[in-house]
Structure 1
Amino acid sequence: MTPFIDWLAFVQVFVAAMVGSLVVVGFYALGLRLLVRGGRAPVVAPAEFTDAITVVSEKDVRRAAKAAAKAARKSPLTEGAKRLALAGAYACFTVCALAVLGGILLIVYR
């Protein structure tokens, strides 16, 4: 008995994986961009590990937070445009979450 490879199914899975990854990465990047334009730049304090080669000081963390606050103040958008950008950002993140959830459901129920 010779093994049979269903190449059409392989191509379908490959295309679905590529489209899914492009949707998630694209909408996540667009959501981050809109989030920053809306004045809510995500500032995450870096974690300090015991084996870290570079340790970020408190001064660097304060400097990054200050730069993010300055960028938010310099936004040329009106308040309405900022709200619209934030709504768009949340919509993009929702699309990402739905794409991931849809992929998980396809794996579980197929």
Structure 2
Amino acid sequence: MSVSIDWFAFVQVFGAALLAASLVVTFYAIGVRLLVRGGKAPVVAPAEFTDALTVITEKDQRRAAKAAAKAAKKSPLTEGQKRFALVGAYASFTVCGLAVLSGLLLILFNH
């Protein structure tokens, strides 16, 4: 009994996975950057874990939200530029979602 490995297929899968991961990470980073430029800085409430080393207090959370709101007010962009940045951010997130969805569809229907 002999086991044969198709190395070219292995390289194809490796390249596709590397390209897809790079695509998702790049467009997600662009989306977050444009979201911040558009004045919608994401402020996420911290999760409390029982074994957490540091837990952000509610006071720190309010301070971060206040700083994000202040930074949004100081933005040198016009309202049109902010709107354009938000549209670009949502488009970038859509590209990320489509890349993930296409990967799932390849796995499900192309086996």
Corresponding residue number in structure 1 for 2:106: 106
Corresponding residue number in structure 2 for 1:22: 22
5 Å-filtered alignment, 1:47-62, equals 47-62=47-62
Q: Give the Cα–Cα distance (whole angstroms) in 2 for the partners of residues 55 and 39 of structure 1.
A: 26
For the aligned residue pairs, the C-alpha RMSD in angstroms reads: 0.8
Q: Give the Cα–Cα distance (whole angstroms) in 1 for the partners of residues 93 and 55 of structure 2.
A: 31
Give 1:50 deviation, angstroms: 2.4
Corresponding residue number in structure 1 for 2:87: 87
Corresponding residue number in structure 1 for 2:77: 77
TM-score scaled to structure 1, two decimals? 0.97
Amino acid at match of 1:8: F
Q: Give the Cα–Cα distance (whole angstroms) in 2 for the partners of residues 5 and 103 of structure 1.
A: 23
Give 1:53 deviation, angstroms: 2.2
Corresponding residue number in structure 2 for 1:68: 68
Q: Give the Cα–Cα distance (whole angstroms) in 2 for the partners of residues 95 and 104 of structure 1.
A: 14
User: 1:33-75: CA deviations, max 9, x gaps?
Assistant: 0000000000011011222221211110011001100110111
Q: Where does structure 1 differ by over 4 angstroms across 4 or more consecutive aligned residues?
A: none
Does the residue aligned with 2:42 lie in a helix, a strand or coil? coil
Q: Give the Cα–Cα distance (whole angstroms) in 1 for the partners of residues 30 and 55 of structure 2.
A: 30
Q: Give the Cα–Cα distance (whole angstroms) in 1 for the partners of residues 107 and 18 of structure 2.
A: 16
Stretches of structure 2 lacking an aligned partner (at least 5 in a row): none
User: 1:81-101: CA deviations, max 9, x gaps?
Assistant: 000000000000000000000
Corresponding residue number in structure 2 for 1:42: 42
